[in-house]
Structure 1
C-alpha cells in the first residue's frame, strides 16, 4: 500500500505546482476576474483537480499571492530607511505601482477589500505605510491634507491605466503617477483638497475597481 501511495503523492504535488504556476499566469493578465475553471484550463488539468487542491478561489489566491504581498511589505520597510522621507515615499509608490502594473492579480490582491486571508500581511503593511506618511509630514515634504486613504486610490488609478495601455504605451502610467506624486508635495500654492477620505470611502471605491474575490 505504501509503495502504491507514493506516486499518487508525487502526482498530487506536481498537480499543485502546475495549478499554482498556471494561476500566476492567469491572474497576472486577468486579475480576480479569472475563475478556477480558467486556471484549470490553463494548467491542462480537470477543474475537479483544482477544486481538490483549492476548494475556493480565496485559497488559491492566498497560495499564489501571500509571498508577493510580503515583498511589498519589504518595499515599505526599505522606504523607511531612506535618508529623505519624501524620497522613501516616492520610491515605495513607484516600485509598488510597477509591481501592480506588471501583475493584475497582485494589484487586485493588494487593493481587494474582501481578501481577509491577507489580514496578517495588512497588519504589517498598514503601520509601515502610516510611518512613511508620518515621516513625510514631519519632514514637511508631504502636503498636510494628504493622508493614508489617498494612496490606495492613487495606486488604483494609475494601475488601472497601466492595465489598459499595455498594447499602446505600457509605460504611460508612470507619467501620471509622477503628476500625482508632484501634486502631493507640500507647496504654498496648493489649494485645499477638501475633506479627507475615510476608510469607508476607500472601500466603496475599491469595491468598484477590483472584481469580487468570492466569485468562482
Structure 2
C-alpha cells in the first residue's frame, strides 16, 4: 500500500477532489525526500515548502506530521519486505540473498530517516513492519546457509549488523565517500560472507 493510500484510508468521508489528492501526493514525495535528507526530525514547515504548498494545506491534507512520517517510512520499509519476498522466490538462495542485501543497503544509504527508523529512533510505530523485515532477513540468511553458499559461523543477527554497517557516514579519516561507496562496501561484505570452494 502506498503512503498516499495509507493516509487516504485514515480519512472518513468522500474521496478527495483531484487537486487535493495531487497536494497529498506532492506532500508524500516531499516528505520522502526530506526524511532522506534530514531524518525523522524533519518539520511540517520543511515538508510543506518542499511540496510547494502552505502549512494550512499540509494540515488539511495530512492528519499530523507523525501520520505522514509513519506512512512514508512504512512505504519505504515495505520496499525492503518486497525485496525479501522476491529473494525467497529466487531458486538460487545466494543470488536471492545478494539481491535482497543490495536493495536493503541501498534503502539505508539513500535515507537518513530509514537508518533512524531501523535503529529505533523516532516516534513512529514501525514495530510490525520491522519485525516482518527482520524475519525476511533471518529466513534468507538461514536459507543461504542451508544451501552451503553463506558461512555458517555467522548468525543472521551478525549479518543484520554487517549490512547496517555498509551504509556508512559520508566522511572518515579525512576521506569523502562518493555516492556509490555503499555498493563497494556491500561487495566486500558479501565476499566475506560467501563460502568459496
Unaligned runs of 5+ in 2: 1-13
Q: Which runs of 4+ in 1 moved over 6 A?
A: none
Residue by residue over 1:119-159, the C-alpha shift from the partner in whole angstroms, topping out at 9 and shown as x without a partner, is 33234323222211111222233222322322332333222
User: What secondary structure sits across from 1:34 in the alignment?
Assistant: coil
2:8 maps to which residue? none
Aligned residue among 183, 186, 193 for 1:174: 183
- Mapped pair 1:90 → 2:98: yes
Residues 153/58 of structure 1: CA separation in 2 closer, same or farther (3 Å cut): farther
1:153 maps to which residue? 161
- Mapped pair 1:134 → 2:142: yes
2: distance between equivalents of 1:168 and 1:160? 9
Could you tell me whether the CA contact under 8 Å between 1:143 and 1:187 is conserved in 2?
Answer: no
- Mapped pair 1:122 → 2:167: no
2: distance between equivalents of 1:37 and 1:156? 30
2: distance between equivalents of 1:34 and 1:113? 13
Residues 48/182 of structure 1: CA separation in 2 closer, same or farther (3 Å cut): same
2:36 maps to which residue? 28
1: distance between equivalents of 2:28 and 2:157? 32
1:184 maps to which residue? 193
Normalised to the residue count of structure 2, the TM-score between the two structures is 0.72
2: distance between equivalents of 1:115 and 1:142? 36
- Max Rg structure: 1
1:68 maps to which residue? 76
Which has the bigger relative contact order, CA under 8 A and spacing at least 6? 1
More helix by share: 1
State the Cα RMSD in Å. Answer: 3.2
1: distance between equivalents of 2:149 and 2:133? 22
